[in-house]
DNA sequence: AATGAATGAGTTTTCATTCAT
DNA sequence: AATGAATGAAAACTCATTCAT
């Protein structure tokens, strides 16, 4: 009878909770965040959190999961076979940095939070691996240079690493996504030898 | 039977403690590590830890500090003016990955641990920044392409990011340092356009 | 076997905890009392104490607060304007010593505990000050002697001090409240010059 | 050979330590004071403290002891049989408040510190008792009113209580010793009925 | 005579987690 | 379906106290 005790369908509640969790985790970090605070933010009681997610770890995992999902989905467009591989690579970089720029508070921080929590490293790595494989594939189709797969893979590792580093700066507002895209693309294709600003 | 409860001079104990701390922190992560465990590993009592380092945070900071120091020192060789800038860059990459390969359990993990602990980000960033500036300088002297400083800086950010990503793989034993050095150098100079294995 | 682990409404538990806390603090003193012991005495778990009161200091403050409150309330009767000032003063002394006699284990000891704990001195002094002002007012209206306010105030300080000292003896069972009331009243009015027992 | 390690005769060291201890205890309170700090202040090592005083409690006891002694000694003058009893009482009040005024940082605080530490209450009480007996004796010889000893004793309790309360104000600088002496003497002899300022 | 080095034993405090309603 | 009430378990930190030199 008292106000505020709504009966909501499960799916809605779940999202409401994840929203709150992502928010708080991203603001304060995993360990600094207590279940109390998440419950408060989600405007539900702690037992509800446990009913739906079982434990703090599982809740955090669910957060990474969902955000990773959204991230991955952003890349579906890249596979467009109408585009030349080079175009696809550029597109991929755009999508990546674009996503980061628009979701800094949620994804970037979750990402940076999850890294360093041994327990979740696996999940992060798996999201990252998907990105690396995607990149490796694009590289392979974009160049005539014949290289062993292994090389493409490691090159993709390096490029994604570069991308993440730059993404941090984008998220921090230190560079514009546009500038960063050019820079990364240029790095990928020509390294220092051919970088020409704005070209 | 265990190593003996000797009276050691302060300086020695300090290092002994840091050794243990670096070890445990690197194995379990900052939050998952209790002072109790560090004390056990160092074969001393908890109060000593506090006597010497004041708090868990300060102890961890001291770890980062020392390892960062060692890391930085490894680079002193790079400044050698007898070498051409390109040689210097290659040398720097070698040093970087070499250090990581030989200190995986301590530095790499500390590095990865410290990131994501808001409080220590500053310290990590400052070590990283030194590396970035060093790199930016090398880039600037290695190319004839005229670019704004800002561009060199961001390019260095990207390269260091790539280096860190590759370093993770080196630390994980997935690639040899040699291979990784070639790859990074190649990326830096020619990007994909000119990568030729073993060249 | 022990009193039962029931779910009690907040307000009830709060009092239960304060009761236990006052008891233990009064028996052992502030510093000698651990939260563990209070929790045991209250038959609840330590986290509850923290949930309700936040910290040991705050809990102790709450104790002083509540007991000070009860003490102050005992004096409401004194303000009765139907009584002559002299009657009021006597009444006040009666109330004061009566309260102490009946609440020795809680108030007197808290009072004596709180003094000497720098942090809580303020709170004690403020309760004491109320008493002093009350007394000063009564003195002022009870005598024809014109004196500066300052004098009444300091005289009240002295009388309250005398009252506290005697109260200690009352609390210790060394004198009866009745005897003590006569003595204090006599001291207040005539000093040694006119003390006549039972007059 | 290094400076500062003097060999001092036992008696000197003892006083040096007590001086430091009284100082620190009075500044910070018993529980808030650590042996470390006392040792530092005394410019000796902690083991010395233990060698000389055995334990923190014993050290504090020694502090009270010494200060109580000094206090008691101040009263030797009072016993002067050349003076009339009334004069002696006035003198006693003067001595008491004078002592407090000049030793506030040491004695007053120790006094206020010791009260409330159950363990030392006994010692404080015994110093206080000496004062009360002294006072009771003076009262008995100062008045013609015949009263049971018990009455004199309790009257002395009250007066000493008043004295202590006023002493606090003197120590706090809220009143001058002179004013306070008049007030207390007046209270003792005439109560409110006859107080005449400056008379 | 004197001390730097070392610790056992507690204390407060904080959470993730679960009943009982 | 939902929650206020409750706790077990552990972590950081402190201090009086004692060796070994």
C6: CB within 7 A of chain F nucleic strand: yes
Same domain, D46 and D115: no
Alpha carbon distance, N-terminus to C-terminus of chain D: 66
C197: CB within 7 A of chain F nucleic strand: no
Q: Which residues of D touch C186 (CB under 8 A)?
A: 191
Is 80 exceeded by the pLDDT of residue B187?
yes
B147-181 confidence digits (pLDDT tens): 888 889 999 999 999 999 999 999 989 999 999 99
> Smallest Cα–Cα separation from D90: which of D185, D199, D193, D21?
D185
A23-73 confidence digits (pLDDT tens): 999 989 899 999 999 999 999 999 999 999 999 999 999 999 999 888 888
Is position B117 within any domain?
A: yes
Same domain, A117 and A175: yes
Is 50 exceeded by the pLDDT of residue B198?
no
Instruction: Give me the pLDDT at residue A72, please.
Output: 86
Q: Which nucleotide is nearest to C9 (CA to C1')?
A: F5
Instruction: Give me the pLDDT at residue C41, please.
Output: 95
Q: And the tokens for D198?
A: 């400056």
Mean pLDDT of A87-107: 89
The region of weakest confidence among A132-146, B179-193, C185-199, D172-186 is C185-199
User: Which of D113, D118, D145 is closest, CB to CB, to C195?
Assistant: D145
CATH number of the domain residue D15 falls in: 1.10.10.60
Quote the CA–CA distance of C131 and C160 in Å, as a whole number: 8
Query: Which structural domain, as residue segments, surrounds residue C100?
Result: 64-193
C18 in D contact zone (CB under 8 Å): no
Is position B59 within any domain?
A: no
Same domain, A45 and A90: no
Same domain, A44 and A71: no
- Three-state SS letters, C3-58: CCCCCCCHHHHHHHHHHHHHHHHHHHCCCCCCHHHHHHHHCCCHHHHHHHHCCHHH
Instruction: Give me the pLDDT at residue A197, please.
Output: 42
Instruction: Give me the pLDDT at residue C129, please.
Output: 93
Report the percentage of chain A scoring pLDDT > 90.
52
CA geometry: angle C103, C107, D188, nearest 5 deg = 95
Quote the CA–CA distance of A198 and B7 in Å, as a whole number: 65
3-state SS, residue A76: helix
Same domain, D41 and D130: no
Question: Subunits with at least 3 CB pairs below 8 A relative to chain B?
Answer: A
User: Which of B115, B164, B197 is closest, CB to CB, to A151?
Assistant: B197
Are the C-beta atoms of residues A83 and A129 closer than 8 Å to each other?
Answer: no
Same domain, B40 and B68: no
CATH number of the domain residue C157 falls in: 1.10.357.10
Quote the CA–CA distance of D39 and D46 in Å, as a whole number: 5
Is 90 exceeded by the pLDDT of residue D196?
no
Quote the CA–CA distance of D62 and B82 in Å, as a whole number: 73
Is position D34 within any domain?
A: yes
Is position B30 within any domain?
A: yes
A5: CB within 7 A of chain E nucleic strand: no
Global pTM? 0.87
Instruction: Give me the pLDDT at residue A192, please.
Output: 65
Same domain, D47 and D119: no
Distance of C1' in F14 from CA in B56, Å: 14
Which residue is closest, via its CA, to the C1' of E5? B7
Is 80 exceeded by the pLDDT of residue D197?
no
What part of D 140-159 touches C (C-beta under 8 Å)?
Answer: 142-143, 145, 147-148, 151, 154-155, 157-159
Same domain, C68 and C165: yes
Taking the stretch 5-44 of protein chain C, residues with Cβ within 7 Å of any atom in nucleic acid chain E are 7, 33-36
Same domain, D70 and D22: no
Q: Which residues of A touch B142 (CB under 8 A)?
A: 192
Contact across the interface for A195 and B145, Cβ inside 8 Å? yes
Quote the CA–CA distance of C58 and C49 in Å, as a whole number: 10
Handedness of CA A130, A131, A132, A138 (dihedral sign): positive
Instruction: Give me the pLDDT at residue A199, please.
Output: 39
Contact across the interface for C147 and D195, Cβ inside 8 Å? yes
Which residue is closest, via its CA, to the C1' of E20? C7
C113 or A184: which leads in pLDDT: A184
What pLDDT tens digit does each residue of chain C (199 aa) get? 333 456 888 899 999 999 999 999 999 999 999 999 999 999 999 999 999 999 999 999 999 999 988 888 888 877 777 888 888 889 999 999 999 999 987 777 777 888 877 788 888 888 899 999 999 988 888 877 778 888 899 999 999 999 999 999 999 899 999 999 999 999 998 876 654 444 4
Is 50 exceeded by the pLDDT of residue D4?
no
Counting CB pairs under 8 A, whether chains C and D reach 3 or more, is yes
Instruction: Give me the pLDDT at residue C34, please.
Output: 97
Same domain, C36 and C115: no
Question: Subunits with at least 3 CB pairs below 8 A relative to chain C?
Answer: D
Instruction: Give me the pLDDT at residue C5, please.
Output: 53
C47: CB within 7 A of chain F nucleic strand: yes
**How many domains is chain C built from?**
2
Distance set, CA A125 to CA A128, C197, D179 (Å): 5, 91, 81
Q: Which residue of A has its CA nearest to B115?
A: A116
D8-61 confidence digits (pLDDT tens): 778 888 999 999 999 999 989 899 999 999 999 999 999 999 999 999 999 999
Instruction: Give me the pLDDT at residue D76, please.
Output: 83
Is position D199 within any domain?
A: no
The region of weakest confidence among A179-193, C51-65, D101-115 is D101-115
Instruction: Give me the pLDDT at residue B50, please.
Output: 97
Q: Count C/D contacts: CB-CB distance under 8 Å.
A: 149
Taking the stretch 22-51 of protein chain A, residues with Cβ within 7 Å of any atom in nucleic acid chain E are 32-36, 46-47, 50
Instruction: Give me the pLDDT at residue B196, please.
Output: 44
Looking at the complex, report in whole angstroms how far the Cα of residue C120 sits from the nearest Cα belonging to chain D. Answer: 12
Contact across the interface for B29 and A113, Cβ inside 8 Å? no
Distance set, CA C194 to CA B115, C141, C185, C188 (Å): 82, 21, 11, 11
Same domain, C82 and C45: no
Which residue is closest, via its CA, to the C1' of E6? B48
Instruction: Give me the pLDDT at residue B148, please.
Output: 82
Is position B153 within any domain?
A: yes
Mean pLDDT of D113-140: 88
Per the listing, tokens 């600088």 go with: D173
Is position B3 within any domain?
A: no
Taking the stretch 10-69 of protein chain A, residues with Cβ within 7 Å of any atom in nucleic acid chain F are 13, 44-48, 51
Residue B62's pLDDT band (cuts 50, 70, 90): very high
Is position C81 within any domain?
A: yes
Same domain, A130 and A149: yes
Quote the CA–CA distance of A80 and A130 in Å, as a whole number: 17
């Amino acid at each position: 009878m008292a106000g505020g005790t709504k009966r909501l369908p499960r799916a809605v509640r779940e999202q409401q909770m994840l929203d709150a969790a992502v928010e708080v985790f991203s603001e304060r970090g995993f360990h600094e965040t207590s279940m109390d605070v998440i419950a408060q933010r989600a405007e539900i009681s702690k037992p509800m959190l446990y009913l739906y997610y079982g434990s703090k770890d599982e809740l955090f995992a669910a957060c990474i999961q969902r955000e990773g999902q959204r991230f991955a989905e952003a890349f579906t467009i890249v596979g467009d076979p109408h585009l030349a591989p080079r175009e696809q690579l550029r597109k991929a970089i755009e999508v990546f940095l674009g996503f980061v720029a628009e979701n800094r508070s949620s994804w970037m921080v979750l990402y940076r939070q999850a890294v360093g929590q041994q327990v979740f490293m696996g999940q992060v790595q798996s999201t990252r691996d998907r990105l690396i494989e995607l990149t490796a594939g694009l590289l392979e189709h974009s160049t005539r240079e014949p290289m062993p797969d292994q090389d493409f893979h490691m090159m993709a590792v390096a490029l994604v690493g570069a991308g993440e580093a730059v993404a941090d700066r984008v998220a921090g507002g230190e560079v514009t996504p546009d500038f960063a895209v050019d820079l990364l693309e240029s790095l990928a294709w020509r390294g220092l030898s051919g970088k020409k600003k704005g070209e």
